[in-house]
Structure formats: structure tokens, C-alpha cells
Amino acid sequence: MTLNSLGATYRQCGVVKLDGLLAPSKLGAVKLVAEQFHRLWCADNYEFYTTKAINSSGLTSGQYLTEKQRLLLFKLVSHRQLVSAVKQVIPQPLFVGTQLFFDPVNPKQPNYWHRDPQYDLSIEDQKLALEGPEPLHVRIPLTADPGIEVIPGSHKTWDSDEELQVRLELNGHKNSENLPNGIEIPLQLGDILIFSANMIHRGLYGNNRLVLDLLYCQRDTQLTKFIQVTHQPTAQMLPYLDRDLFL
């Protein structure tokens, strides 16, 4: 995938992979920061972590990181080529926050199909969400990663009967069942994956995964209302960053 064809591919599929966009040598420091956050977060959320957790959030909030470490993450958020790719999908993007994905402690814990809006919206509002505005994940693996499985085009197309029953566990179905149109996308260190939070997807576990997601959105109050000031850079950090990405 090249930057020139990114926009058209995303509009059709809802997901694009850019091989080797980031220099692996530059991600070592990011991995160390993520590992520190993960250790401290796990200690504070031990029961949740050991029973069912597969991700955490709020790395840039400063709860577990120094200002220097936060600035390192914000510089990644502002990475010129990464932002250029995001802008081909949504104009004038804003940074929302971060998530960190890891393997569940229980190796038998299944992964699950979902659309991100299903946790906040009714069925009818989930359908309306497919009309926009667009929330984006930019997935950055910090190790070789099994990746995610997606239903291409589902960022604009509502579920088939089978997809809906599996995703919402209706009529005895489980959200971990295989779906016929699923496509797996593995990732290597240096790759990035841009995908719509609205699409049907599920994470793939294994290989002691550690994956950082940067979340961006369009400038629309439906999405900007979720932006927390504590996850944004300080005024002192802004001269080192792409100011247009932050509130």
C-alpha cells in the first residue's frame, strides 16, 4: 500500500496497511514507555487484568508517565508521515487518545467481533454512525503482531444477519465464532494499520502482543465530546508538536 492509493483503498475497505512506514529503530523508546505504563497499570488493575482485560487506555494522561515520556508519545502522534496518511482518510484530524493492547492472561480466553460504537449506541444509532463522522485507529505494533481480523467494507455497510447475530450474541451465537468474510492482517514492527472504529473487527491474540493504538477523529461534536483534556499535551509541549492535531 502506498500513500497515493491510501484514500481510495480506505474508502472501499475501511482499513489500510502501510508496510514499514515507521523505522523500527525509532520504536524502541516507545516500547519502553509502553512497557512501563503496562506494568504500573496492571499493578493498579490486577483483578481486571488477570480475569479478562485485553487492553488499557490513557497512556498520554500522565497517570503513570513523566512529562518527557508523554512528549515522546505526542511526537509519535505528530509523526509527519503518519499524520499525512491519516489526513488522506479524514481532513483536519484531531487526536483523541491512546489504547494499549496485550494478550489476556487466560490463554483460552476467546477474542470477539465488535464495532466500537456498540458499547455506547443503540442498534439504530450504530447504523447512523456508518454515515459518519469517522473515528480512526492507527495501530502501531511494538513487536511482531498477529494483527486483527476485519470484515472489509463494514465501516459503511451494515451487518449481514449472520454477522449481527454473532457480534451481539443473539440466538445462541457467540461473538468469538468465525465469520466467512473475515480477513486477517498480521503486522510487523514498523508497519501501521489504519482502520475505522465503526467496522466489524476483532484482535488476534498471541506472540505476547504489545500494540499501541493512536485514536484520531474528525472535527465533529459527535466525536470531539469524547476528547479528554488530561490526554492532551501541555502548552509547553506544543512547540514540539503538530499543533493542529490537538484541542
SS (H, E, C) 106-129: CCCCCCCCECHHHHCCCHHHHHHH
Tell me, what's the pLDDT at 32? 98
Burial track 3-27 (b if 16+ CB lie within 10 A, e otherwise): eeebeebbeebbbbbbeebbeeeeb
Q: Strand, coil or helix: what is 98? A: strand
Q: What is the per-residue pLDDT across 105-117, written as a single tens digit (0 to 9) for each? A: 999 999 999 999 9
| 62: in domain | yes
| 230: in domain | yes
Pairing of strands 135-141, 15-18: unpaired
Q: What is the per-residue pLDDT across 116-134, written as a single tens digit (0 to 9) for each? A: 999 989 999 999 999 989 8
| 49: in domain | no
Backbone angles phi, psi at 122, to 5 degrees: -70, 170
pLDDT-derived band of residue 4, with 50, 70 and 90 as boundaries? low
The number of domains in the chain is 1
Q: What is the dihedral of CA 110, 114, 118, 123, to 10 degrees?
A: -120
Q: What is the per-residue pLDDT across 44-85, written as a single tens digit (0 to 9) for each? A: 999 999 999 999 999 999 899 999 999 999 999 999 999 999
Q: What is the end-to-end Cα distance of the chain in Å, rounded?
A: 31
Domain at 40, CATH number: 2.60.120.620
Structural domain harbouring 214: 3-44+54-245
Rounded to two decimals, the pTM is 0.95
Residues 224-243 have a mean pLDDT of 95
CB 200 within 8 Å of CB 127: no
Q: What is the per-residue pLDDT across 183-228, written as a single tens digit (0 to 9) for each? A: 999 999 999 999 999 999 999 999 999 999 999 999 988 888 889 9
